[in-house]
Copies of this chain bind each other. A is one copy, B any other.
Amino acid sequence: MGRFKFEDDHRYLMPAHFGGMKYVTTNTIYRDVTNLVVQYRTERDAIEPFVPEALEITDPILTVAFVMNREVEWMAGGVYNLVAVNVPVRFDGKVDHVAGGFSLVVWENKVTPILPGREATGIPKLGATIEDARHLGRLWMAEAAYEGNTFLQLSLAEGDEVPAQAIEQMNRVSQETDWLGWRYIPNVSGPGAALNHATTFPQGSRIRSARACTGTIEWKALTWQQAPTQAHITSALAAMPVLEMTAAFVTRGESILLGDKARELR
């Protein structure tokens, strides 16, 4: 017989049978993070069909973050880029009462960070082509594409530097923020779920510099033929009207993923 035994005090990811790690901590630091953020108000009616019933949308505002992660410790100091789309929600369960950004979807340009994000914490990460943003003078430009099909275009024009005092204030608030997900693992056979529950994966950040910006964003609905597993997602986002740009900014600093505080919400 095989001789691989699962250890109760270990943490594994597939393939588990090559061995896991004794559980100590899952906190991890990203030492060099550039965050391009655009926020806009849309219609509540346009978002609600895509948010589970257990969550209350506190404000119909979408936050789209284009993030360049560098010096990622758990990836041996490596890099990856992502696009995250959040909407602010409240979860009031039997046990947990939590407010934070609900992760509608995340696209990442590498496989490695996608897997634990989905499986361990319910963050709905997908793959896409996401080159580094271009930075020309005060202009930032960025895109995301699925196999040659552009579905997102972003730009930010930098304004003034945020003063140090305001950054200190931002850092006090951002020491720990709830980031809500929804972990869904299907049954192997037939319809229905093996796991189906809300999660939170708290995040911290230490901003070193920031600039207020003016931003633009454009979603493009892909067809099934262009992106068979993502067309419906790009279509849903493209159909949410941009009523008003409410904020845009660029920050540089450090992120801390507080995996130790991640938990199933009940």
Q: Are B193 and A52 in contact (CB under 8 A)?
A: no
Q: What sequence of 0s and 1s flags, for each residue 110-154 of chain A, a beta carbon within 8 Å of any chain B beta carbon?
A: 111011001111101111011110111101110111011110000
Q: What sequence of 0s and 1s flags, for each residue 249-264 of chain A, a beta carbon within 8 Å of any chain B beta carbon?
A: 0000000000011111
- Count how many chain A residues have C-beta atoms less than 8 Å from C-beta atoms of the other chain: 106
In the complex formed, the residue of B with least CB distance to A104 is B15
Within 8 A of B (CB), among A232-255: 232-233, 236
- Assembled-state Cα–Cα distance A17/B54 (Å): 12
Q: Are A149 and B143 in contact (CB under 8 A)?
A: yes
Q: Are B130 and A148 in contact (CB under 8 A)?
A: yes
B residues in contact with A219, CB < 8 Å: none
In the complex formed, the residue of B with least CB distance to A126 is B111
- Assembled-state Cα–Cα distance A191/B233 (Å): 33
Q: Are A191 and B9 in contact (CB under 8 A)?
A: yes
Knowing that A14-B125, A119-B119, A121-B188 touch, tell me 19 more A-B residue pairs with CB under 8 angstroms: A1-B57, A2-B54, A2-B56, A5-B52, A6-B196, A9-B191, A12-B186, A13-B184, A15-B104, A23-B191, A77-B134, A77-B135, A77-B139, A115-B126, A120-B186, A129-B148, A143-B149, A185-B195, A189-B262
